[in-house]
Amino acid sequence: MISIRAIASGDIGAILSLERARIGDSLGLVELEQAVKGAGYLCWVATADERLVGYILCSLTSGEAELYSIAVAPDHEGRGIGRALMDEAFKELKAHGAQKILLEVEVGNERAYRLYLRQGFKEYRRRKGYYGGVDAICMEREI
């Protein structure tokens, strides 16, 4: 059974490990600590049998949210965890006053791109060479 909850301070190490395994070292300790404190960042985690198997980290400023990072453990992919994390985040962000949410995804990350399209995101521009020479697709959706 998968459960989704807000981040707790004890989750930071597991999130950083998952981030390194899935994406690399792009996520910072500072952002996670701020999410625990509720200071500009909001984070939710997915757990299965008390093991952290996914997370989503967002920022919120003046009614506009940004999906900063999302990852699911490889052995739990394809089970709807990414969608469930996004649904929870969007519900909470809306409750905090967000009217829309933005994100960027690397060209070629088809799995994430398809998830974002299914979640109602639309492409609004591209950033040339944003990810070390690889373009970024900028997407948005109303909440």
Catalytic residues: 104, 116
User: How far are the Cα atoms of 45, 91, 123 from residue 97, in angstroms, in the given order?
Assistant: 21, 10, 23
Sign for the CA dihedral angle at 28, 29, 34, 36 comes to positive
Contact between residue 7 and residue 87 where contact means Cβ atoms under 8 Å apart: no
Tell me if 138 sits within 8 A of 123, measured CB to CB.
yes
CB 121 within 8 A of CB 103: yes
Assess contact for 16 and 29: CB atoms under 8 A: yes
Backbone dihedral angles phi then psi of residue 103, each to the nearest 5 degrees: -155, 165
